[in-house]
Chains A and B, each alone.
Chain A
Amino acid sequence: MTEITFEKITKHFDRVKVIQDLNLTVNKGEFFTFVGPSGCGKSTILNMLAGLEDVTSGTIFFDDMPVNDLSPKDRDVAMVFQSYALYPHMTVYDNIAFPLKMKKQQNVSLDTEVHRVASLLSLDDLLKRKPRELSGGQRQRVALGRAIIRKPKVFLMDEPLSNLDARLRVEMRAELKKLHNKLKITTIYVTHDQAEAMSLSDRIAVLYNGTIQQCGTPREVYIKPKNIMVAGFIGSPPMNFVPASVQKSAPLEVICNEMIFSPSIEILPENTNLVIGIRPEDVLISFEKSAGSIEVTVSLIESAGSFNWIDVMWHRIKVKGVSQIDERLQTGGTAFMKFPLDKVIIFDKETERRM
């Protein structure tokens, strides 16, 4: 097991800054995920870890050893690529055996190792096939096999599930998790799919524009997002944002879309512009009026099976919420919305940070 430390890592491509001042420690045996929209620099981080890209400045440590100047070969990392990158002219057997052959270890039996990995990933029957004769999920497993056979120090995964269909993706997600529990190899995972990041990782780092916006356990990032970017990115469907402002400074009164409430945050000057964030799953919409509910107009109903996602217009602002299955709720009709004020997250509109 290896601990990975990034110390003041920056990466420029010509004059474009891709990664800025990255400082981070990934613990031994941890499943760590970089998540962010495309172009945020997450794949660059993986390539720097693998030794496929040089760092512009700063140092990467594997345990206490700086690895900046080591070639990929000497870093003892394995990588799974989005397109699987299987060698098309080799059989499954040869694909899996390839890294071990390159390593030229005398004391291990190649054949035993390949069969051990193949049975771990239930590929035994496919060993003689070529990659083009495999389904997406099978190719993915071969790619995993090729990565784990060498028992690398670090496991790097670059969006390994994004080429699979939705159902297979969920299945493989579970497989990956199981595999990690079994092998306990430090794993760095990169994805743009926040659900994948949440369900797989011990910790995640939300990356945007080359800087880490927030790093923590999935739960922490979900409950206490540091800024609007993180709040909007993590969670599905995405968080609702409603503009608000401070009406009275002491005692604090915030006016939000004609609703006035007093959140327990620091005292702010009057007229400070705020943004109120509330997760759709916390917004309850029902046909019947209840104490403290707000009247809204239903604009869209989406069924999620056991409940409905409902878009409503709260004055001129669209808010997404959940409702029970209720025939009386109709598009264009009236409904009542309610959300617990303690679940509301307040951001400063200027800095976009959470109060």
Chain B
Amino acid sequence: MKKTGFYITLFIVCIYCIGPFLWQMISSVKPSSELTKLPPVLPHTLTFNHYISVFQGHPFGRIIANSFVVSMISTVFSLTFGSLSAFGLSKLNIKGKGLIFAFVLSISMFPPIATVSPLYLVIRALGLRDTWWALIITYTTFTLPMSIWILSSFFREIPDELYRAAKVDGCSAFQIFYKIFLPLAGPGIFATAILVFIFSWNEFLYALTFTSTTASRTIPVGIALFPGLHEMPWGDIAAASVVVTLPLIILVLIFQRRIIEGLAAGAIKG
């Protein structure tokens, strides 16, 4: 009995989580005429027209490239600054560490909508509107608290004696960081990288505000701007969503265990 209950719950949760995505996948291969039919089951004839039209009717290749570059560079920046600060805050003697940590955390509590207009003014003043850099800078700042918190919990788990041993062996603080701590915190770096990448890949609000052309437009905004004046191209939207979600899902499934490890370490120690 207990077991049946467990499997029923498991089934409901799975459907709840995967359902929308499945629906989206099914929609992406349905002919347009059948799109609004319920229940959303596979049609008799599969069509890949939506996929073709996504790449032919829109500059979708460019948009994917934008997203990819922005997410990659943001991830690299966030990890570079994040790991350095996390190392300093968890292992070096710094006055007011607790205060700095609290401050870092408080930054991540700002709702994005509250900061979007001031940031827009800053970006415009810097002449960065509609460039990759507008998004890279914003994403880096917004993911830094997360990077710092997760990574410092990883660094804190590395025994102090290693730090002291390396110091006696003749390392400077920076050498200790990149020769000893960075390799040892590998799983943490990895988990953080994926989380930052996903955040940047999916971010919508800033991308919508700071971009205006395909020069810098990212995927979520690109898809949101699919609807024309008189029609709602559900099929195209579904196909585009599948195209950009699949890589993430594959990435997460492959590195699942590491991400959980990373998140759990942050959760328990943080």
Contact = CB atoms under 8 A, between A and B. Distances in A.
A47 B168 CA distance: 10
A38 to B, nearest CB: 16
A79 B164 contact: yes
A143 to B, nearest CB: 8
A82 B167 contact: no
Nearest to B169: A99
A83 B170 contact: no
Contacts of B161: 81-83, 85
B98 interface: no
Given A81-B161, A83-B159, A89 B168 contact: no
Given A79-B165, A81-B161, A102-B175, A89 B183 contact: yes
Contacts of A346: none
B168 A50 contact: yes
Interface string B149-169: 000000000010110111111
A50 B180 CA distance: 19
A336 B7 CA distance: 76
Interface in A68-102: 72-73, 77-79, 81-83, 85, 87-89, 98-99, 102
A120 interface: no
Interface residues of A, number: 22
B157 to A, nearest CB: 12
Interface in B138-189: 159, 161-162, 164-172, 175, 180, 183-184
A79 B180 contact: no
Nearest to A103: B170
A73 B170 contact: yes
B219 to A, nearest CB: 37
A73 B172 contact: yes
A306 to B, nearest CB: 41
Interface string A122-166: 000000000000000000000000100000000010000000000
A47 B183 CA distance: 26
Contacts of B165: 79, 81, 85, 87
B170 A79 contact: no
B167 A52 contact: yes
A88 B158 CA distance: 10
Contact of B180 (A72, A87, A99, A103): A87
**Counting chain B CB atoms within 10 Å of each CB, which of A47, A88, A156 scores highest?**
A88
B50 to A, nearest CB: 48
B170 A102 contact: yes
A269 B123 CA distance: 90
Nearest to A88: B184
Contacts of A78: 168-169
Nearest to A104: B170
Contacts of B180: 87, 89
B184 A102 contact: no
Contacts of B169: 78, 98-99, 102, 146
A72 B163 CA distance: 12
Contacts of A52: 164, 167-168
A296 B62 CA distance: 97
Contacts of A88: 184
B87 to A, nearest CB: 16
A52 B173 CA distance: 12
Interface string B89-127: 000000000000000000000000000000000000000
Nearest to B165: A85
A73 B176 CA distance: 12
Contacts of A82: 161
A72 B184 contact: no
Contact of A85 (B162, B171, B172, B184): B162
Interface of A: 47, 50-52, 72-73, 77-79, 81-83, 85, 87-89, 98-99, 102-103, 146, 156
A-B pairs, top 10 by smallest CB distance, nearest first, are A102-B170, A85-B165, A85-B161, A99-B169, A73-B170, A79-B168, A89-B183, A81-B161, A72-B167, A72-B168
Interface of B: 159, 161-162, 164-172, 175, 180, 183-184
Given A79-B165, A81-B161, 16 more contacts: A47-B164, A52-B167, A72-B170, A73-B167, A73-B171, A73-B172, A78-B168, A81-B165, A83-B159, A85-B159, A85-B162, A85-B164, A85-B165, A89-B180, A89-B183, A103-B170
7 contacts: A50-B167, A52-B168, A73-B172, A81-B165, A89-B183, A102-B169, A102-B170
